[in-house]
């Protein structure tokens, strides 16, 4: 993956919802100008949600999601509806397609949009047959058949899109500053490339016109000794936090890629408070460790091997661990004393917020790898100091 590519998690996720046979898939194909979704007169053609990363003017990089009919029936239909509703967890903008006055199914979806603070558009399809009364600025008549209103719908989606201008590290540094990025290349590192958080931070440093120095942990001490003045900031992989902290002078700000991603996705405050739950862990407590991506597990995998070991050593007790990865995340987390998440680089903001809110509403502390690892190694305060400044 190139440094200037737009990862899926950084794209606006636009999900289309609606009952069967309202022309939802036809509207998507008209909006995208592609045969993204299968169109058929037969009800229930769309089964599992279909995702497509693409460029959509005037928005730019987006992910378009087609979902199954919200009124699907039968045992299989119920599963399809459940999958459609799960899509709300990753939705930045919802487009509700209907062919007339909103039904009870549509009204329930609108309630969900409002409950989750998801911007939504009511798209009245088949305007070539019957035009609906447009009552609000988020409503529009379109015809997937004739193309009427399709450009207007795209412009409306563009107006509802939230522009992401949150910084990674650019607000912490100035042009000309030296930023050291410590990126271990071990058996778990992907061959021939940096992992996504490292790519994103490196690009942000370059865009800030700061001087970037990328080294492995074994070369860090030598690299620092060759600098004429201390770096403005050192950012390392969480699993070498302890080693790096011993090398980097105390007066030099130090944090991790995982903590940077946490701040970028959710903000630090909630996860920092959740770190206090580590002090309360006791034998038999259940801990969920969740990753936003799926990858081949190594024998020294950080999520399933290193982190559980560090946590048990810190707690001085045997803990009961569960693990999830990718799009999998339980709706009921009430049995857990703590949920520890990865940086979430492969999940969009909506997905991370949804996971955090699931935990919050059930009173379960939610934090992430970088916070936990720095807490375990006694350097949490130092890892967060740069953000306080």
Contact 297, 359 (CB under 8 A): no
Please give the order of strands across the beta sheet that includes 338-341: 320-324, 286-290, 338-341, 366-368
- The answer to whether domain 8-160 and domain 267-376 are alike in fold is yes
Top-confidence residue, 298 or 166: 166
DSSP H or E stretch at residue 4: none
In the chain, where are the structural domains located?
Answer: 8-160, 179-260, 267-376
Its pTM stands at 0.84
Instruction: Tell me what pLDDT residue 149 has.
Output: 94
Residue with tokens 């007169």: 41
C-alpha 136: how far from chain center: 31
What distance in Å separates the CA atoms of residue 36 and residue 1, rounded to the nearest whole number?
24
Q: What is the Cα Rg of the chain in Å?
A: 23
Query: For domain 8-160, which architecture applies?
Result: 3-Layer(aba) Sandwich (3.40)
Contact 29, 36 (CB under 8 A): yes
Instruction: Tell me what pLDDT residue 3 has.
Output: 41
Q: Nearest to residue 105, comparing CAs of 27, 162, 20?
A: 20
Q: Rounded mean pLDDT of 232-246?
A: 95
Q: What are the phi and psi torsion angles at 55 (to 5°)?
A: -100, 130
CATH code, 267-376: 3.40.50.11410
- How many Cβ atoms sit within 10 Å of the Cβ of residue 177? 16
CATH of 179-260, one of 3.40.50.11420, 3.30.2350.10, 3.30.70.360, 3.55.50.30: 3.40.50.11420
Share of the chain above pLDDT 70, in %: 90
pLDDT digits (tens, 9 = 90+) for 285-314: 999 999 988 754 554 688 889 999 999 999
- pLDDT surpasses 70 at 176: yes
pLDDT digits (tens, 9 = 90+) for 7-63: 788 899 999 999 988 999 899 999 988 765 544 445 545 556 788 888 887 778 899
Q: Residue 170: left (phi > 0), alpha (psi -120 to 50), or beta? A: alpha
Instruction: Tell me what pLDDT residue 1 has.
Output: 40
Angstrom CA distances, 177 to 3, 111, 208, 211, stand at 21, 48, 9, 6
């Amino acid at each position: 993956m190139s440094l200037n590519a737009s990862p899926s998690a950084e794209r606006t996720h636009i999900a289309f919802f609606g009952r069967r046979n309202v022309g939802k898939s036809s509207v998507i194909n008209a909006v995208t100008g592609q045969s993204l979704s299968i169109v058929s007169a037969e009800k229930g053609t769309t089964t599992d949600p279909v995702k497509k990363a693409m460029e959509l003017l005037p928005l730019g990089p987006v992910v378009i999601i087609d979902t199954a009919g919200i009124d699907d029936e039968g045992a299989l239909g119920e599963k399809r509806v459940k999958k459609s509703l799960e899509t709300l967890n990753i939705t930045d903008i919802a487009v509700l397609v209907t062919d007339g006055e909103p039904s009870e199914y549509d009204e329930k979806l609108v309630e969900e949009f409002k409950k989750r603070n998801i911007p939504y558009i009511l798209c009245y399809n088949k305007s070539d047959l019957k035009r609906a009364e447009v009552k609000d600025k988020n409503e529009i008549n379109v015809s997937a058949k004739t193309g009427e209103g399709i450009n207007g719908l795209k412009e409306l989606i563009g107006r509802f899109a939230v522009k992401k201008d949150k910084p990674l590290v650019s607000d912490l540094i100035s042009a000309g500053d030296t930023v050291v990025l410590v990126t271990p290349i071990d058996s778990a590192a992907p061959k021939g490339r940096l992992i996504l958080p490292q790519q994103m931070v490196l690009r942000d440093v370059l865009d800030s016109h700061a001087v970037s120095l990328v080294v492995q942990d074994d070369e860090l001490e030598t690299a620092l000794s060759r600098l004429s003045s201390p770096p403005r900031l050192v950012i390392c992989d969480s699993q070498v936090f302890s080693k790096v902290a011993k090398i980097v002078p105390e007066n030099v700000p130090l944090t991790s890629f995982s903590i940077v991603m946490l701040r970028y996705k959710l903000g630090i405050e909630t996860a920092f408070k959740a770190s206090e739950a580590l002090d309360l862990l006791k034998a038999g407590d259940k801990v969920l460790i969740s990753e936003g991506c799926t990858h081949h597990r190594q024998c020294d995998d950080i999520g399933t091997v290193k982190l559980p070991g560090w946590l048990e050593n810190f707690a001085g007790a045997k803990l009961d661990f569960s693990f999830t990865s990718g799009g999998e995340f339980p709706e009921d987390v009430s049995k857990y004393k703590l949920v520890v998440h990865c940086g979430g680089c492969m999940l969009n903001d909506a997905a991370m917020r949804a996971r955090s809110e699931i935990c919050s509403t059930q009173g379960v502390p939610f934090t992430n790898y970088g916070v936990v690892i720095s807490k375990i190694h006694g350097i949490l305060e130092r890892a967060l100091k740069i953000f306080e400044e």
